[in-house]
Amino acid sequence: MRSKKNSRKIVVDDIEYRWRAKGGPGSISVGIWPANDIGPYMMAIFGYDETFVRRPDGYITSNGDQIVITNKIVKRVIDCARQKYGYDPNTKGKQLCLSGDEVEWRDAVRSSSNYL
């Protein structure tokens, strides 16, 4: 059984899923699984798509405006998996890994800017 700890709930087409996002060096990984624990685990990897700026002291740093993973993006990952790969949350199978480029994310919510 997959742990629900620190996961969020989303319902897509009357099917409950759980998801969790984790930031790492250079990317955000999103893990999604059906709450029934039958269907396979899905993962999508997104770049931060952040702006870099030169600070007054000359250092270049992130502006802090990276994308934020929300239910809207998670739903798009699920929809992509179902449409493109025939993902079925009620059938056991191998883990599915999607590139963030397979999912429309350009209208994602952004973190607040730090320097601009």
User: 15 or 37: which carries more pLDDT confidence?
Assistant: 15
SS (H, E, C) 52-89: EEECCCCCEEECCCCECCCHHHHHHHHHHHHHHHCCCC
The total domain count for the chain is 1
pLDDT-derived band at 105 (thresholds 50, 70, 90) equals: confident
Instruction: State the residue range of the domain holding 19.
Output: 8-102
Note the pLDDT of residue 17. 97
| 113 domain-assigned | no
Give me the residues paired with residue 53 across strands.
Answer: 61
Note the pLDDT of residue 25. 84
End-to-end Cα spacing for the chain: 45
Can you read off the two tokens belonging to residue 4? 């629900």
Highest mean pLDDT among 63-67, 95-99, 104-108: 95-99
Note the pLDDT of residue 114. 57
pLDDT tens for 18-27 read: 999 998 888 8
pLDDT-derived band at 87 (thresholds 50, 70, 90) equals: very high
Measured distance CA(27)–CA(113) in Å, rounded = 18
> Over the chain, what is the mean pLDDT?
87
